[in-house]
Structure 1
Amino acid sequence: MNKVLYIQASARGERSASINVADAFLASYKESHPADEITRYNLWEANLPEFDRAASNGKYAVMSGADIPDADKEAWRRVLATIEHFKSFDKYVFSVPMWNFGIPYKLKQYLDVIIQPGQTFNFEDGQYTGLVTGKPAFVAFARGGEYQGDASGMDFQKPYFELALGFIGFTNVQSLTIEPTLMGGPDVAKAKTNDVIENAKILAANF
């Protein structure tokens, strides 16, 4: 049995195109992998640690080989618990909308918590090495406009998120993008979403 972590970064619930696609992907996946366990992790409902001064102090104490100050131990413990939860899964599914050309701040906060030296990556001999390896990921991206051609330079959503996954060790990342969900009107958005859902169902069978 494999454990699948489904991270929802959209705040829009059932109105979210990225969630609709990710849900369809997982429904199809469950049909072909009935024994696997799927855990939904809604970043808008989760009690994410703040990566504040205390957490930062803990991080730099560990990096320098020093003892973590007592006042900072709880903050660092919460960071490590979040990382361990993330790493405990075998496969990952993400629903990621575009916010202001990038990703939602809750997802950025989550990445800032889990991307830590010695936990999800190492730096040795001048080289970065990801530590979350051998695990596949599927990402459903959605954005209100279209970011192809000349507009691709405005896309800090998909390139950044895929870079972050690659940095911590993911090499098997599949993604589908729904666009435009706003600029073309509701009929275009519905048609685009439905097309991507069908493709997601196909990908899910071999995930």
Structure 2
Amino acid sequence: MPTLLHIECSPRKQRSASRDVAHSFISRFKQNNPDTQLETLDLWDCQLPELDEEVLNAKYAGITGTPLTAAQQSAWDAFAALAAPLHRADFIVLSVPLWNFSIPYKLKHFIDLVSQNGILFSFDPEHGLQGLLKGKTAVVAYARGMDFSAQSITPAVRFDFQKPYVEAWLAFIGVSDVHALIVEKTLLGAGVDLSSRDTANQQAKALADALNA
């Protein structure tokens, strides 16, 4: 019974191109695997704790092996609870719009919270850094307002810190099987937007079929 986690990173809901493409993948995946357990983490509907002094003290106490205070342990338990769905999932689906050349601040906030030693990675002097999410598959639906492809005649491709950042993070936490679904030029009018979404939705369904093969 596969478990699929969808991390929603756009506040636009039904108008979100990345969410639309991710849902196409999820719907086809569930069609192919009716017993799929789906969990959704909407970053705009959950309260992410602040990275305040107490939280950072807990982080560095964990790194140095210093015993945590009760308040620090509470903060650390909150990190672990946020990361738990990532550990439970066999498939991690992210729907990520591009904001100012990069990712929404809510996703960056989430990554900063859960990417902790002993939670999503481990470290020791002999083996260095090791991601803890081995054996999982990630599917990332990226949405961009302009053309960020290598074929673009604009300089936009040089400002893509969205896809490289997400894929670097996934590799860091141990996810090596990563698939990208990209919908672009969503700001160039309804006709272009719908055509781009349709192409990406078809690719999403084909990917779901391929992962079921």
Q: TM-score normalized by structure 2?
A: 0.92
- Does residue 1:204 correspond to 2:205, yes or no? no
Pairwise CA distance, 1:190: 0.6
* More deviation, 150-159/17-26: 150-159
Structure 1 partner of 2:130: 129
Flag the 1:58–1:173 CA change in 2: closer, same or farther, 3 A: same
Q: Distance in 2 between matches of 1:99 and 1:69?
A: 38
Q: Distance in 1 between matches of 2:76 and 2:176?
A: 28
Structure 2 partner of 1:171: 176
SS of aligned partner of 2:210 = coil
1:26-105 equivalence runs, <5 A: 26-105=26-105
- Does residue 1:114 correspond to 2:147, yes or no? no
Q: CA RMSD of the aligned region, Å?
A: 1.3
Structure 1 partner of 2:24: 24
Q: How many residues align?
A: 206
1:154-165 equivalence runs, <5 A: 154-165=159-170
Give the fraction of aligned pairs with identical amino acids, expressed as a percent: 39
Q: TM-score normalized by structure 1?
A: 0.95
Q: Does the CA-based 8 Å contact 1:55-1:79 persist in structure 2?
A: no
**What are the ranges of 5 or more consecutive residues in structure 1 without an aligned counterpart?**
none
Show CA shifts across 1:125-158 (max 9, x none).
3732211110001010001111134422100101
**What are the ranges of 5 or more consecutive residues in structure 2 without an aligned counterpart?**
none
Matched to 2:11, the amino acid is A
* More deviation, 144-153/17-26: 144-153
